[in-house]
Amino acid sequence: MRKISLILLSVLLLAAPVSASGREDVVYSWNCSDKRIALTFDDGPHPTQTPEILDILREYGIRATFFVIGQNAEWYGDCLAMVYAEGHEIGNHSFSHANLTEAGYDGVCREIDEAERLIGERIEYRPHLLRPPGGQLGEELCRAASERDYTLVCWSVDTLDWAHTPPDVIAQNVLSNTEGGDIILFHDYVSGESPTPAALRIIIPGLLAEGYEFVTVSELIGAEE
């Protein structure tokens, strides 16, 4: 995992996802000459945290990519419909947030397919982006994703919001390390009190002032439908 401030390095080393460095079938960032970047949000939808994030994105006219857990789509279908109706991109984040490196091929397929089914039932949309929980990659996952025409997406900047990192530290890390083509990892569900909204209110205007353009992951990688 690259681009992390020294103040967070020890935390990240303990929690870093399994890397597939050099794999051409996994997107971490995109090589582009302009200042386009993608905000991504994992683990939702959530009935209170997701709407708060949507309010902020709406205020700044930003579209993002939400990687949705199928179980949460089942529980909070109205919230998922709100995300989709506001023009944000929806990705598959498995059914139960299982560790897919330990699920076996059949288990991986069930996790992907069940999440896809539930998302489709709620918003009549079939995702084409897949983010494995924790960024943990394995051969079974890559095989299943390829068979289903999914693009595997990880990230290049980890905000560590899931670790309840203070908003000002998150903002310092992102503002100091973001470059054009980056995919930034946030969460629209964090257990307990989430630092994400406060961090976004610092980060978004800061990056806009530096000339960055926020796009969806598919727009960033040139895979618009």
- Catalytic one among 34, 42, 113, 161? 42
187 among known catalytic residues: yes
- Catalytic one among 88, 93, 187, 188? 187
Specify whether the CB–CB gap between 174 and 157 falls below 8 A: yes
42 among known catalytic residues: yes
Angle among Cα 171, 157, 154 to the nearest 5 degrees reads 145
Q: Beta-carbon neighbour count of residue 124 at 10 Å? A: 9
Residues annotated as catalytic are 42, 187
